[in-house]
Structure 1
């Protein structure tokens, strides 16, 4: 059997969204989706490979902003709130998996993705209007997934370029002696957009890899480099920690809103949950992998946020790397973490590519399939790069998109999906109350996060270079 690339193979089997000869349900199951259909057995993921992907999808740039998030919440409130948000996020992932499995069994399908799950649940809901317009549930989820995942990819572009610029242009003032970082007055030698364009061709080549089984090798490399950078960060922040009793237990309400945005942004892997389950050799083992992986993620997040804030206190910067000494040892942290983010880009990119590419390639002849596939991948990478280059204050644009789309995908939609899916199956009042409460929390975070981002966008923006810390801190505003 030919090992045709999965995305391209599904694209050839799919039909146009405008094909009126098929029902909406049939068309939606064959066209755009967050992931491919079950892969050939040889290409499926083992438990360890799935765990590696899951860890890498959730350990991204948001992790580095958790110490300042803790600063915005207070040491006690921040620790408890991060634990609660982590538990709720994991619970929403479990809800999504359970609903998708239930709907796939009900519809006698081997796999149901996020958008299809929303559509199929609406098709059986009590409200006649929602049943009639159920396909818009899939369109809405697919749009939010595309915006969220490409938004992450744009942030990754900025993060990698920013760190590369720091390493290169601070090289002449970087020493072998590691002392607390001092403010530096450095005019940039090359525009940061030059570094983005330097990274662009390498990312284009990376996203040409379509198989998650192959990507697991790069995901392993990403985990190794990320682990190395984490070890160095913890090695520094655990030394001579000041007395934490001087830190406030609770910060102001306004600052807590910034904490909420950072925490939600940090848990960025819900878009990969169903694709990973679909690609496993034994999908029934995914629940164990999910609980194990996300438990490790929550523990890491709490330790990074708590110890980072206790170490630097009120001087905690928007990214913890900005607090590290300006020596070669800790400059390597930026390099290793950037390498990890580089490979994570391909994982985050895999999701929107799985939605867009099957539809595009279904519109061309067989001989143009490969060209269309690679062209779309190149164009999408170019879009994330161009966004990072030309959109003013991209960090706040990303914060705005994340407040809307990330909160919706991670906290608002999964509980509503559970309510709609199991409403006719005698749900308990406790479950209904729980789902409503979680959706309300997500909605409040969405509203206030959007307000905060819009407020920041209205404030004057200075391009002056005061010092390296201030300059680079502006690039990390998206973390909260």
Structure 2
């Protein structure tokens, strides 16, 4: 039996104490789920973190207080509702009326399975290290350190860095999508303002008043977004989170009540679309499902963490049904005219124009929450290398620079559907599909795994990697093609019987 001094994880713990922290936090609404206080307490018997696994559940190290089952469910739902949801009708079009919902169902099952894998692996190392919490990056790092391969053990710290890189890439990609979403919706509202009426069922064709290019709209948002991300107080951010949740919830209710009315005959819609557009479906769908970084902080903050698997499966079931229903109903309602965001297809009356503005307001406030994650990874690392008197200046400079980068990237690629597909394929697939199955193999292989489980994990990772490569290629290829312009009109009349 190996001694404590030869424990590879214990050795890594000692190395980490002398290294610069590069901690990966969770995305979206999990800014309020940070666990900085856990540095102040450990096991009740005073055992050290390196003392090994005594068969104790990591929940025994958790604080007595935490969020309830209902609060956990709400946070999980919040972490999956954003711009990706509104792009699913176009995703269904890219897959087909039959293939789209079936693929969403399969992707939902695989995504929640990978979330469960991550939680299982993190809990395994929590028990072994007697730690209260491990984030995504730490779980991968410890998994590599315990792998049979000596090369992986020596480079275990890179596991944390890789997860941090993809998390930064994903979150900043979300922020780029938000700039494009805000510009497209505001531009459409302003250009149709002169002919917007109170009658949502008129047969009048909308005459647009041309305004500035959508890229100039993005640029005009830049100073307001910069001021928004200057807010570093988490309690103040909670107000923005509440406003975002309310505005997006109201918007979704109004959108649903519209798309379920007067659905046209779907017989002309293809059941299976061209294979060339399926990679775009994959990118959009995985963009919508990518919330795997939320699960560990939520599981950690629950009062009764043993109930988290039930909440995870319940929440993801609700989310998957929401995705399938909105994707299918939106495609059935608008057919081949469906645009990158379903809000862009809503009629030209003040009720639905208000929905666009309301959802845009929610997305604007959500930007600060998405931005919080890369900021908390990058800024502490940067300010640790400058004099203390420069900390605030460096902090604000990095925030301004990161927001400017997301704005510039959005200006360079101002096509919402392709930006969503590119971000989903390039970064979300790595975090949600590729890494978790590989983590399970390297974590439990030495303890004995059935060949079926190994084959299953390899298959998920391979399919995720194929989606990563093909989806990224197809998105970039489509970006090189001239965009197809959409004429905005009051499309309600064409569906009124």
TM bucket (normalised to shorter chain) is 0.7 to 0.9
Deviation at 1:199, TM superposition (A): 3.0
Correspondence for 2:23 among 32, 35, 47: 32
Task: Tell me the residue number matched to 2:150.
Answer: 128
Q: Residues 143 and 437 of structure 1: is their aligned pair in 2 closer, same or farther, counting only changes over 3 Å? A: same
1:318-351 alpha-carbon deviations (Å, 9 max, x no partner): 3222322111111111111112212222222222
Q: Residues 276 and 348 of structure 1: is their aligned pair in 2 closer, same or farther, counting only changes over 3 Å? A: farther
User: Is the partner of 2:198 in helix, strand or coil?
Assistant: coil
Give me the whole-angstrom Cα distance separating, in 2, the residues matched to 1:272 and 1:349. Answer: 15
Q: Residues 188 and 56 of structure 1: is their aligned pair in 2 closer, same or farther, counting only changes over 3 Å? A: farther
Q: Where does the alignment leave 5 or more consecutive residues of structure 1 unmatched? A: 1-21, 470-480
Alignment of structure 1 residues 80-159 onto 2, 5 Å: 80-159=102-181
Give me the whole-angstrom Cα distance separating, in 2, the residues matched to 1:160 and 1:457. Answer: 20
Task: Tell me the residue number matched to 1:18.
Answer: none
Residue range with higher mean Cα deviation, 181-190 or 201-210: 181-190
User: Is the partner of 2:132 in helix, strand or coil?
Assistant: coil
Larger radius of gyration: 2
Deviation at 1:300, TM superposition (A): 0.9
Correspondence for 1:51 among 69, 73, 85: 73
Correspondence for 1:229 among 240, 251, 261: 251
Task: Tell me the residue number matched to 1:341.
Answer: 363
1:264-316 alpha-carbon deviations (Å, 9 max, x no partner): 12113223333444455555544344333222211111110111122222333
Correspondence for 1:355 among 377, 386, 396: 377
1:422 aligns with 2:459: no
Q: Residues 126 and 453 of structure 1: is their aligned pair in 2 closer, same or farther, counting only changes over 3 Å? A: same
User: Is the partner of 2:277 in helix, strand or coil?
Assistant: helix
Deviation at 1:54, TM superposition (A): 2.5
Using structure 2 for the length normalisation, give the TM-score: 0.80
User: Is the partner of 2:200 in helix, strand or coil?
Assistant: coil
Give me the whole-angstrom Cα distance separating, in 1, the residues matched to 2:184 and 2:388. Answer: 41
Task: Tell me the residue number matched to 1:65.
Answer: 87
Question: Do the aligned partners of 2:87 and 2:417 also contact (CA within 8 Å) in 1?
Answer: no
Question: Do the aligned partners of 2:143 and 2:443 also contact (CA within 8 Å) in 1?
Answer: yes
Deviation at 1:190, TM superposition (A): 2.8
Using structure 1 for the length normalisation, give the TM-score: 0.83
How many residue pairs were aligned? 446
Question: Do the aligned partners of 1:57 and 1:344 also contact (CA within 8 Å) in 2?
Answer: no
Give me the whole-angstrom Cα distance separating, in 2, the residues matched to 1:370 and 1:285. Answer: 41
Kindly report the root-mean-square deviation, in angstroms, between the aligned alpha carbons of the 2 structures. Answer: 3.0
Question: Do the aligned partners of 2:87 and 2:284 also contact (CA within 8 Å) in 1?
Answer: yes
Looking at both structures, which has the greater relative contact order when contacts are Cα pairs under 8 Å and sequence separation is at least 6?
1
Residue range with higher mean Cα deviation, 209-218 or 340-349: 209-218
